[in-house]
Amino acid sequence: MKRVKRRYLALQIDIDGAPSRKEFMDAVWSAVVKLYGEYGASLTSLVLIDYVSEKKTAVIRTSLATLDLVRASLASITCLADRDAAVHVLAVSGTIKALCKTLKLS
């Protein structure tokens, strides 16, 4: 079986207050489902890897094939936990190690 290529995305959440892990993932899933439906969302293999509530940063993993789809969905988020919000992609990488390296450099 062919190995599934993945991409890790480092995210910055632009919001007043600190949303919980669940609130954040609910907003991400809701954006993906709204734009691509349940079938589209099932293709993304979206997983939350890390979430730092104080810093409002997160790392998520998705499959390479649906990277554009996930990026568009993240950009379409305007509301998180009933508050105005935006989710910005800080970096994208193929491994967590490289992602950390890119973030440190920037």
Interface contacts to another protein, rule CB under 8 A: 14, 34-35, 68-69, 71-72, 74-76, 78, 84-86, 88-89
CB of 88 or CB of 97, closer to another protein: 88
CB of 54 or CB of 68, closer to another protein: 68
Pick from 75, 102, 83, 81: nearest CA to 7: 102
CB of 81 or CB of 89, closer to another protein: 89
Q: Smallest distance from the beta carbon of 54 to another protein, in angstroms?
A: 20
E-assigned strand segments in the chain: 6-15, 47-52, 57-63, 79-80, 83-93
- List, in sequence order, every residue forming a beta bridge with 85; answer none if it has no partner: 15
